[in-house]
Chain A
Amino acid sequence: MSSSASPSSSCGGGPCGACKFLRRKCVAGCIFAPYFDSEQGAAHFAAVHKVFGASNVSKLLQHVPEHKRADAVVSICFEAQARLRDPIYGCVSHIVSLQQQVVSLQTELSYVQAHLATLELPQPPPAPVTSSGSPPPLSILDLPTITPSLYELSPIFEPMSSTWTMQQQPRPFDHLFDVPSSSTIGGSSELQALARDFLHGGQIPADLPPPGTGGSAPTVVKRE
């Protein structure tokens, strides 16, 4: 999504991408103008318009504080693009894929932690001196019982509660586009550059089972 770096409602340079697509006059104070420039913004707005509709997006943005609208537009574009690529599941397929990865990693972590625990067990007291001089081997009964701690999936599908606050969590797009943790996302221009990169070269699973039916781990393919 290409957008101007700083929010600007000026339409002096021609209509914004949204108004260009809608073939209407771009008025001063157009709600879309800061986020859909006249060059590539029209293409991105086309996806948003097809999935959500211009008036629905306008209402959504009006209910979002102005300093959050850039993020909202990026996420809306993301969802619209995902829905056009996968008309049945949209970005739910991506969520299912990630959930499966989490479960798989948690299981692997549990087993590895159990293995580490066996290595760190204190050595048994020396056995009585025998002719061979070697200590008795550890028994399976000596291993600690570790229950794999699977990631709880049900809360994911609960409507997000107000405990998700941006003050406590990093901005979603910091991780959404695989930004290294050492980098910091400053203004919305970096966010939009990352969104641009994602939207042009994002990875979306190709062969996912329907949500809730389980199945083997999906393969992620890069789609153009």
Chain B
Amino acid sequence: MNPKRCAACKYLRRRCPKDCIFSPYFPPGDPDKFACIHRIYGAGNVSKMLQQLPVQTRAEAVESLSFEAKCRVEDPVYGCVGIISLLQTEIQKTQTLLARTQAEIAVAQAKHSQNPS
């Protein structure tokens, strides 16, 4: 077997052709990346998705798929939706705190204007 197979073809135990759609994005030194993506999406689905994208956008697509796949492996119930929820909770908390602080400023300013000394 060609020792220069990409991580995807190594995982799939197949020959890595010169025009392999996976090879630019799955170097042989990082086998876990493809393993994770294959587990969640499947090689065929990922191949189809990449084929439908312009070449210059495929690297970003692979990174986002890899991120989502990792999240799903770590949290099979919510995947990266759990992160979205976490962030939305943080936004709500910060907005509440911001509103409260602005109200305190208004009170402090009112006090200052009433007692200028």
CA–CA, A90 and B53, complex, Å: 13
Q: Is A184 an interface residue (CB 8 A)?
A: no
Contact across chains for B91 and A101 when beta carbons are under 8 A apart: yes
Q: Is A190 an interface residue (CB 8 A)?
A: no
Contact across chains for B52 and A109 when beta carbons are under 8 A apart: no
Q: Is A119 an interface residue (CB 8 A)?
A: yes
Contact across chains for B52 and A79 when beta carbons are under 8 A apart: no
Contact across chains for A64 and B81 when beta carbons are under 8 A apart: no
Contact flags A98-124 to B (C-beta < 8 A → 1, else 0): 110110011011001101100110000
Tell me which of A2-10, A12-20, A27-35, A157-165 binds B: A157-165
> Which of A53, A113, A178 lies in contact with B101, CB distance below 8 A?
A113
Residue picked from B77, B82, B88, most chain A C-beta under 10 Å: B77
Q: Is B49 an interface residue (CB 8 A)?
A: yes
Residues of A within 8 A of B112 (CB): 119
Tell me which of B9-17, B22-30, B55-63 binds A: B55-63
Residues of A within 8 A of B98 (CB): 105, 108-109, 112
Residue of A nearest to B58 (CB): A88
CA–CA, A174 and B88, complex, Å: 10
Q: Is A206 an interface residue (CB 8 A)?
A: no
Q: A87-B53, A211-B64 are in contact. Are A94 and B84 (CB under 8 A)?
A: yes
Contact across chains for A52 and B84 when beta carbons are under 8 A apart: no
Q: How large is the interface on A (under 10, 10 to 19, 20 to 34, 35 or more residues)?
A: 35 or more
Residue of A nearest to B94 (CB): A105
B-facing residues in A151-181 (Cβ within 8 Å): 151, 156-157, 159-161, 164, 166, 169-170, 172-176, 178, 181
Q: Is A219 an interface residue (CB 8 A)?
A: no
> Which of A83, A98, A119 lies in contact with B91, CB distance below 8 A?
A98
Q: Is B20 an interface residue (CB 8 A)?
A: no
Residues of B within 8 A of A173 (CB): 81, 85
Contact flags B24-53 to A (C-beta < 8 A → 1, else 0): 000000000000000111101100010011
Residues of B within 8 A of A24 (CB): none
Contact across chains for A78 and B104 when beta carbons are under 8 A apart: no
17 pairs from A and B in contact (CB 8 Å cutoff):
A60-B40, A64-B76, A76-B79, A78-B81, A87-B49, A88-B60, A98-B88, A99-B87, A109-B94, A109-B101, A159-B74, A164-B82, A172-B86, A173-B81, A175-B92, A181-B92, A211-B64
Interface residues of A (CB under 8 A from B): 50-53, 55-56, 60, 63-64, 68, 71-72, 75-76, 78-79, 83, 87-92, 94-95, 98-99, 101-102, 105-106, 108-109, 112-113, 115-116, 119-120, 151, 156-157, 159-161, 164, 166, 169-170, 172-176, 178, 181, 210-211
Q: A87-B49, A119-B109, A119-B112 are in contact. List 20 more A-B contacts (CB 8 A).
A: A60-B76, A72-B78, A75-B81, A79-B72, A87-B61, A88-B61, A91-B68, A101-B91, A105-B98, A109-B97, A112-B101, A112-B102, A116-B101, A116-B105, A159-B73, A160-B71, A164-B75, A169-B89, A172-B78, A181-B92
Interface residues of B (CB under 8 A from A): 39-42, 44-45, 49, 52-53, 57, 60-61, 63-65, 67-68, 70-92, 94-95, 97-98, 101-102, 104-105, 108-109, 112
